[in-house]
């Protein structure tokens, strides 16, 4: 396999190290990818739109995002691009990502539709095993792997929301990533002015999606280590709770009554978790494999 030196976006100026041909063929709407280097051919088909790109064409970050969206959207995920530098500017030193500021990263969100479109088909098709204990986490890891397989010659670092470093700290602060990517506003104590709580009271922040409220999850990021996007424009997340009183209500619900799900309905939503999905997430992690088996039994086979 070749190892490209650097790819730039949104206006990719060069692609070094190989001949690359990417063709999207109509009317079938399939993406045919041929990566040719030293006699090696790689072929993969994914449902996509029609365009043809070679090393002679300019390629942009939007194209990368669209390819990833095409892989994940049908499974109930959302994809939001951001620069690593935007994230690094907002976190303390222990959480800094060791990539140049313009490195392209994609935040991945699971919507309420992920449970039926990705999770249930996943658990019915294969066993949940390995180092990742939670079946949902295994499902997300599986879909991250599918993305990486579609970019076999670009190094992609996948960081999941559940991963910890050697100091037992999160490898990625996904709520911060969600905010800088413009996906979901991260409401924190500092967003309530003047402060509502006493100095000794700990108040955790929570993200709110403009369509799903709290009925979603920030699953992790995909970092395209050899890709920079100097011209990517940052988009602010929608501030769906602009007034102080409702922000206080949100943070109170999340910090004191998170188990009753009420913080998730702080705004009107277009979709929310099904009753079965609520039951799954309310199940203790150690008992979820048994819940998974009941789902398999109810399906009675592999879904189409």
Token pair 């490898």 is found at 171
Q: How large is the average pLDDT for residues 75-84?
A: 98
* pLDDT for residue 4 is more than 60: no
Strands (E), the chain: 7-8, 19-25, 30-36, 43-47, 52-54, 77-83, 103-110, 156-160, 185-187, 206-208, 217-228
Look up residue 183 and give its two tokens. 């996906």
Look up residue 106 and give its two tokens. 């994609």
Weakest-pLDDT range from 52-56, 208-212, 219-223, 251-255: 52-56
Please tell me the predicted confidence (pLDDT) of residue 173.
98
Q: Which residues share a beta bridge with 220?
A: 108, 160
β 19-25/30-36 pair status: antiparallel
Q: How large is the average pLDDT for residues 183-207?
A: 96
Complete DSSP assignment for the chain: ----S-EE-SS---B-SSEEEEEEETTTTEEEEEEEBTTB--EEEEE----EEETTS---HHHHHHHHHHHHGGGTEEEEEEEHHHHHTTS-GGG--SS-TTEEEEEEEE-TTHIIIIIHHHHHHS---SS--SHHHHHHHHHHHHHHHTSTTS-EEEEETT-B-TTS-BS--HHHHHHHTTSSEEE-GGGSSS--S-TT-----EEEBTTTBTS-EEEEEEEEEEEE-TTPPP-PPP----SHHHHHHHHHHHHH-GGG-GGGGSS--S----HHHHHHHHS-GGGHHHHHHHHHHHHTS---
pLDDT tens profile 132-151: 568 999 999 999 999 999 99
Q: How large is the average pLDDT for residues 261-269?
A: 98
Q: How large is the average pLDDT for residues 207-231?
A: 96
- pLDDT band at 36, cuts 50/70/90? very low
Residues 6+ apart with CB under 8 A from 164: 170, 171
Please tell me the predicted confidence (pLDDT) of residue 218.
98
Mean pLDDT estimate for the chain: 81
How far apart, in whole angstroms, are the C-alpha atoms of residue 261 and residue 164?
A: 26
CA-only gyration radius of the chain, Å: 21
* pLDDT for residue 257 is more than 70: yes
Higher model confidence: residue 168 or residue 26?
A: 168
How far apart, in whole angstroms, are the C-alpha atoms of residue 209 and residue 91?
A: 21
Q: Is 97 exposed, middle or buried (0-12, 13-18, 19+ CB in 10 A)?
A: buried
Weakest-pLDDT range from 34-38, 177-181, 202-206, 226-230: 34-38
* pLDDT for residue 273 is more than 70: yes
Q: What is the pTM of this model?
A: 0.79
What does the domain layout of the chain look like in residue ranges? 1-5+9-57, 60-299
Look up residue 201 and give its two tokens. 């009271």
Please tell me the predicted confidence (pLDDT) of residue 83.
98
- pLDDT band at 153, cuts 50/70/90? confident
């Amino acid at each position: 396999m070749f190892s490209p030196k650097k790819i730039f976006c949104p206006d990719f100026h060069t692609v070094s190290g190989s001949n690359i041909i990417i063709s999207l063929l109509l009317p079938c709407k399939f993406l045919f990818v041929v990566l040719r280097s030293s006699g090696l051919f790689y072929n993969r088909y994914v449902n996509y739109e029609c365009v043809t790109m070679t090393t002679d064409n300019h390629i942009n970050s939007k194209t990368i995002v669209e390819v990833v969206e095409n892989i994940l959207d049908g499974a109930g995920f959302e994809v939001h691009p951001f620069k690593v530098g935007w994230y690094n500017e907002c976190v303390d030193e222990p959480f800094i990502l060791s990539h140049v500021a313009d490195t392209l990263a994609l935040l991945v969100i699971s919507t309420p539709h992920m449970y039926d479109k990705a999770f249930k088909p996943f658990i019915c098709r294969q066993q949940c095993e390995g180092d990742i204990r939670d079946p949902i986490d295994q499902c997300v890891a599986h879909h991250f792997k599918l993305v990486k397989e579609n970019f076999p010659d670009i190094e992609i670092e996948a960081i999941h929301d559940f991963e910890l470093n050697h100091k037992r700290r999160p490898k990625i602060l996904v709520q911060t990533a969600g905010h800088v990517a413009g996906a979901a506003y991260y409401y924190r104590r500092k967003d309530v002015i003047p402060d509502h709580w006493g100095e000794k009271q700990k108040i955790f922040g929570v993200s709110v999606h403009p369509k799903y409220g709290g009925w979603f999850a920030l699953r992790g990021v995909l970092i395209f280590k050899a890709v920079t996007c100097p011209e990517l424009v940052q988009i602010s997340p929608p501030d769906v709770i602009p007034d102080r009183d409702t922000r206080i209500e949100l943070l109170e619900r999340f910090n004191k009554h998170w188990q009753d799900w009420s913080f998730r309905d702080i705004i009107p939503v277009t979709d929310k978790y099904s009753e079965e999905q609520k039951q799954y997430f309310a199940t203790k992690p150690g008992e979820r494999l048994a819940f998974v088996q009941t789902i398999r039994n109810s399906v009675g086979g592999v879904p189409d």
